[in-house]
Amino acid sequence: MPAADARQAAPFDDARQADKPPASATGVNASEIDDGQSAAPSEVRRVRRKRVREKRRVTFLGGMLRSLIIITVAAGLTAMILTWFTPQALIREDVRDDLSAAIATSDFATFAPTSQPTPNWLKQIGVVSGHRGPQDDPGAVCEDASGNLIPPTENEINFNVAERVVDSLRGLGYSVDLLDEFDPRLNQYKGAALVSIHSNTCAEWPGGEVVSGFLISGPAARTSMRGNDELLVGCIADHYGNMTGLLRRPGVTLDMSDYHNFREIDVRTPAAIIELGFMRADHDLLADQPDLLAQAIVNGILCFVDPVIAPTRPAPAEGL
C-alpha cells in the first residue's frame, strides 16, 4: 500500500479502536471468549475461576439443603417409631412420674414465669374421698336411740361432696384425680394441690352439748413448702365458712395434722384435710346440701391455684 493510502486508513483504524472499550475497564465476559474474540490469558483464567467458584457455592448450598431435609425426615420417622413401639415398662417408674408431673403442673417449672396465666388443663389437682376404697370402710356412722342407722354414712357424705368437687373443677378445665383413701396413686403424688374430704364424728358430748362446725389442717410436720400449705388451708377455710355458715373450730387432732396422705405425697404438693362438719349436729347440711359444700371447697381451691379467676376471698370466719 502506498504511504499515502496507509495514512488515510489509519484514522479509520483509530476510530474502531476508540469505539471498543478497553478490556481493563469492562472485563472479559463469557460471550467474548466463546465468540473467539481476543482476550488476555489472565482475563480468561479469571473468568474461569469465577465460574468454578459459583458452581461450588451452588453445589454446597444444595447439599446443605438436602442434608437438612434428610435429617428432619429421619428424626420424625424415628420419633414416630419410638412412640409407637417403645413399651411403657422401658421407662423407669420414677422417670415416668417426673415426666407426668412436669406435664401436669407448672409449679415445679424452672423457667421464668410469664405474664400469661398457666392453662387450667396443665394444673393437676387431687381430691381424696375419705374412707372410700376396696376396704369398704363406712367411716363414722350415726345411730338413733334404738341403735338404728341414721343415713348417710361418712363414706357416703364424703363421696357425694368429693365427686361434685371433681366434676366442677373438670368443668373449668382442670385435670383432677378422684382418689381413694389408700389409693396407690397417692405415693409421691405431684400436683398443684391435694384436698382430702372427711366428716366428723357422730359422738354425743357430755352434758348434751351441741358441737357444730368444721375443722381443717395442713401437714404440720412439713418444714418446706409450709407457706403453700397454709395458704391453701386459709383459702378453703375462708370460702367454706362463708358459704356454709359453719364456724371453723380449733383443736385439730393429730390424725388431721399428721394425716397419712401427707406423708405419702410428694413434699412439694400443697395439701389440706377438711372435716366438713359434725355428723350429728350438722347432719341436715351434710346430708342434704352436697352441692353447696362442694362449691365452697371448689372456690377455696380456686382461690389457691388461680387467684385471678377465683371468687373474691371473704373475710375469715371467727372460730369458737
- Tell me what pLDDT residue 243 has: 97
CATH of the domain at 301: 3.40.630.40
Q: What angle do CA 214, 220, 225 make, to 5 degrees?
A: 110
Task: Provide the residue range defining the domain that includes 34.
Answer: 29-86
Q: In this structure, are 60 and 180 located in the same domain?
A: no
Q: In this structure, are 59 and 136 located in the same domain?
A: no
- Tell me what pLDDT residue 25 has: 43
Nearest one of 198, 265, 200, 199 to 229, comparing CA atoms: 265
Distance CA 56, CA 62 (A): 10
- Tell me what pLDDT residue 232 has: 96
- Tell me what pLDDT residue 221 has: 87
Q: In this structure, are 149 and 78 located in the same domain?
A: no
- Tell me what pLDDT residue 245 has: 97
Distance CA 278, CA 21 (A): 109
Q: In this structure, are 82 and 99 located in the same domain?
A: no
- Tell me what pLDDT residue 75 has: 85
Nearest one of 306, 291, 267 to 116, comparing CA atoms: 306
Q: In this structure, are 126 and 274 located in the same domain?
A: yes
Q: In this structure, are 145 and 73 located in the same domain?
A: no
Please give the chain's pLDDT, 320 residues, in tens.
Answer: 444 444 444 444 554 444 444 444 444 444 444 444 455 777 777 777 777 777 777 677 777 888 889 998 888 888 777 767 666 556 666 666 665 655 554 444 444 555 566 777 679 999 999 999 999 899 999 998 888 999 999 999 999 999 999 999 999 999 999 999 999 999 999 999 999 999 999 988 887 788 999 999 999 988 777 889 999 999 999 999 999 999 999 989 999 999 999 999 999 999 999 999 999 999 999 999 999 999 999 999 999 999 888 888 887 765 54
- Tell me what pLDDT residue 268 has: 92
DSSP state of 285: H
Which helix (H) or strand (E) covers residue 53, if one does?
helix 41-85
- Tell me what pLDDT residue 43 has: 78
- Please tell me the total count of domains within the chain: 2
**Is residue 154 one of the residues assigned to a domain?**
yes
Distance CA 242, CA 108 (A): 32
Q: In this structure, are 75 and 132 located in the same domain?
A: no
- Tell me what pLDDT residue 76 has: 81
Nearest one of 200, 127, 186 to 157, comparing CA atoms: 200
For residue 112, what are the CA distances in angstroms to 11, 98, 107, 108, 190?
84, 19, 11, 11, 20
